[in-house]
Amino acid sequence: MPGQDFDAVFVSPVGRLGIRVEDGALCRLAFLSGHYRLRTARCADTRRVQRSILGFFTDPGAVSGIDCRLSGTDFQRRVWRALRKIPYGKTMTYGGLAKRLGTSPRAVGNACRHNPVPIVVPCHRVVARHGPGGFAGDRQGRLVRIKQKLLCAEGVEIRD
């Protein structure tokens, strides 16, 4: 049954979100289709993380205190740490972040695509030189619209 692999599935301003929390740390956040059944958070840690994520839409800083347990390569974790340093309300280009990290824009984009906890690790703040760029592996469609909504929640408007 869809949604069984999440500790909570809930409605947000960008659609349904699923989260997995282990030992108080967020380890997965996913943008879900409407086919996923809502699932009430059953433990205090999951409810706390859910409240913070929902709080993002009125105060983007609300997610800064969420502890995360991230599985990925050393390089991916290095990119994800850099993403958390981009202040809310600001963006950086793939090329700019790549230059800062001494790598390529494509490698940064690939690490962003594999980000297990978007919103909290704000890969949506990394944009193309001209326009929003892709999001979660998509170059157009629902996920790119979600990226634009996340940026809008932070007071940033990027047009194609």
**1: pLDDT strictly greater than 50:** no
Tens-place pLDDT, residues 5-45: 899 999 999 999 999 999 999 999 999 988 899 999 999 99
Instruction: Spell out the domain ranges in the chain.
Output: 8-63, 74-153
- Which are the catalytic amino acids? 123
- Which of 36-40, 61-65, 130-134 shows the lowest per-residue confidence on average (mean pLDDT)? 130-134
Q: What predicted TM-score, i.e. pTM, was given to this entire model?
A: 0.91
Give CA torsion, residues 64, 119, 30, 69, to 10 deg. Answer: -40
pLDDT at 4 (0 to 100)? 60
CATH of domain 74-153: 1.10.10.10
Q: Can you tell me the mean pLDDT for 94-120?
A: 96
Q: What angle do CA 54, 118, 67 make, to 5 degrees?
A: 75
